[in-house]
C-alpha cells in the first residue's frame, strides 16, 4: 500500500478522533481507512492506536509518530500551496494558545487583522490560564506572559509588561492605603496562584535592593479574571501585569499603590514547540504578533 496514503490516513484518524470521522473528512470508506492503518501498523511493527468501542486514542508510540510526521505533512502541503498559488496564499488551520485575560484583551482584537491579511487561515484560539502542553494539545503557537518552562521550545521574546499593585477606592476607604510593602501583611491580598495557596511572596525593590513580602488573603485563584473582579469589587489588593489590567488603570475607582517599590517586569513571548519544520502559516502568524503586540502594551 502507498506509504503516503497510510500516513495521510493516520493523520486523518488522529485529527478527526476516530475511523468513521476520518472517513467522512477524507471522503474514503471506513474500511479503506482501517486497512491503511492496519498496513501502517504492520509495517512499523507497533500499535499506533488504543481502540475501544467508545474511543480511539494514540498509544505512546502513536503519539511520537504523530509528533514527527505531522510537521512533514504540513511542510508538503505548504510546498504544494506555494507552487500552485502565484500569491503564495497561506492556507490551513493554526491553533494558538494564550492566557485567558491577556488573550481576551490583546490577542483576540488582533485576530480580524490577521485573517484579513491571510484569509486562507483558520484560527483556533485557546484561552486558558492553565499552562498547555504544546505537543499533547497540538498547539502551533503559544503566547506566554512570564517565564517559559519548556526546555525544548523555540522562544521569541517580543516585549515586556511591568507589574503593578492595585486596589479599589472602596477597599482603601475602609482599610487605608499601605505606604510601604511591609504594611501589606495587614491587608487582604488576593493571590493569583493555585486554588489551595494561602500565601505568596510578592517582589519589591527598596534602597537596599530587592526583597519580598509574604502576603495572605481570603481569595486565591488560578484565574486572573477572578482576581481582577475581586479587586474591582473591593475585596482586596492585587498584583498584576499591567497588560492584564488594560483600561482598569484609568478607572476612577482603581488606585495604583507602592509604585516606587514595584520594578519587576514579565516577558511576553511567542513560543513554538520544537519541530524540524515549522509551517509557513505558523511563521507568518508569529511575525504578525511579534509586530502587533508591542504596540498594544
What is d(CA 88, CA 173) in angstroms, rounded to the nearest whole number? 60
Dist CA 212 CA 219 (whole Å): 20
Please report which residue ranges of 86-176 form alpha helices under DSSP H.
Answer: 100-102, 111-117, 169-175
Given the candidates 1.20.1430.10, 3.40.50.970, 1.10.600.10, 1.10.10.10, the CATH classification of the domain at 3-84 is 1.10.10.10
Contact 19, 30 (CB under 8 A): yes
pLDDT at 80: 65
From residue 25, alpha-carbon distances to 71, 81, 247, 286 in Å are: 20, 20, 44, 28
- 270 DSSP 8-state letter: E
83 — phi, psi (to 5°)? -80, -30
The ranges assigned to domains in the chain are 3-84, 92-159+267-296, 161-265
Specify whether the CB–CB gap between 140 and 95 falls below 8 A: yes
pLDDT in tens, 205-247: 999 899 999 999 999 998 899 999 999 999 999 999 999 887 7
> Closest Cα partner for 216 from 196, 235, 183, 191?
191
Q: Do the domains spanning 92-159+267-296 and 161-265 agree at the CATH topology level? A: yes
Strand partners, 49: 58
Per-residue pLDDT of the chain (297 residues; tens, 9 = 90+): 588 888 989 999 998 888 988 888 888 998 999 999 999 999 999 999 998 877 888 999 999 999 888 877 777 766 665 555 444 567 788 999 999 999 999 999 999 999 999 998 999 999 988 776 777 778 899 999 988 877 777 889 999 999 999 999 999 999 999 999 999 999 999 998 754 445 689 999 999 899 999 999 999 998 899 999 999 999 999 999 999 887 777 788 899 999 999 999 999 999 988 765 677 888 899 999 999 999 888
Distance from first CA to last CA of the chain, Å, rounded? 54
Task: Indicate if the alpha-carbon torsion angle 15, 269, 250, 183 is positive or negative.
Answer: positive
Q: Is 201 helix (H, G, I), strand (E, B) or coil?
A: strand
Cell readout for 12 is 486523518
Whole-prediction pTM: 0.70
Annotation: CATH topology of 161-265? D-Maltodextrin-Binding Protein; domain 2 (3.40.190)
Q: How far apart are CA 232 and CA 253, in angstroms?
A: 8
CATH level 3 topology of 92-159+267-296: D-Maltodextrin-Binding Protein; domain 2 (3.40.190)
Q: Is the dihedral of CA 66, 69, 72, 77 positive or negative?
A: negative
What is the grid cell recorded at 165? 499593585
The pLDDT of residue 196 is 43
Give the three-state DSSP class for 252. Answer: coil
Amino acid at each position: 500500500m502507498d506509504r503516503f496514503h497510510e500516513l495521510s490516513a493516520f493523520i486523518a484518524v488522529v485529527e478527526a478522533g476516530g475511523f468513521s470521522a476520518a472517513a467522512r473528512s477524507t471522503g474514503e470508506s471506513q474500511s479503506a481507512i482501517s486497512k491503511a492503518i492496519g498496513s501502517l501498523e504492520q509495517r512499523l511493527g507497533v500499535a499506533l492506536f488504543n481502540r475501544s468501542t467508545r474511543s480511539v486514542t494514540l498509544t505512546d508510540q502513536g503519539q511520537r509518530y504523530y509528533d514527527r510526521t505531522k510537521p512533514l505533512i504540513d511542510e508538503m502541503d505548504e510546498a504544494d500551496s506555494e507552487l500552485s498559488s502565484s500569491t503564495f496564499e497561506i492556507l490551513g488551520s493554526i491553533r494558538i494558545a494564550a492566557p485567558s485575560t491577556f488573550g481576551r484583551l490583546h490577542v483576540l482584537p488582533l485576530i480580524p487583522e490577521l485573517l484579513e491579511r491571510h484569509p486562507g487561515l483558520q484560527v483556533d484560539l485557546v484561552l486558558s490560564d492553565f499552562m498547555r502542553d504544546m505537543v499533547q494539545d497540538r498547539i502551533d503557537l503559544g503566547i506566554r506572559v512570564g517565564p517559559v518552562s519548556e526546555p525544548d521550545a523555540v522562544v521569541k521574546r517580543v516585549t515586556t509588561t511591568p507589574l503593578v499593585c492595585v486596589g479599589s477606592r472602596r477597599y482603601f476607604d475602609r482599610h487605608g492605603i499601605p505606604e510601604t510593602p511591609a504594611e501589606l501583611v495587614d491587608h487582604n491580598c488576593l493571590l493569583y496562584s493555585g486554588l489551595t495557596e494561602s500565601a505568596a511572596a510578592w517582589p519589591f525593590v527598596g534602597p537596599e535592593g530587592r526583597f519580598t513580602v509574604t502576603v495572605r488573603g481570603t481569595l486565591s485563584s488560578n484565574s486572573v479574571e477572578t482576581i481582577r473582579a475581586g479587586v474591582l469589587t473591593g475585596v482586596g489588593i492585587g498584583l498584576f501585569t499591567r497588560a492584564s489590567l488594560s483600561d482598569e488603570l484609568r478607572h476612577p475607582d482603581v488606585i495604583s499603590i507602592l509604585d516606587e517599590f514595584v520594578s519587576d517586569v514579565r516577558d511576553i513571548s511567542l513560543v513554538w514547540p520544537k519541530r524540524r519544520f515549522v509551517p509557513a502559516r505558523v511563521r507568518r502568524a508569529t511575525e504578525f504578533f511579534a509586530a502587533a503586540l508591542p504596540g498594544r502594551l
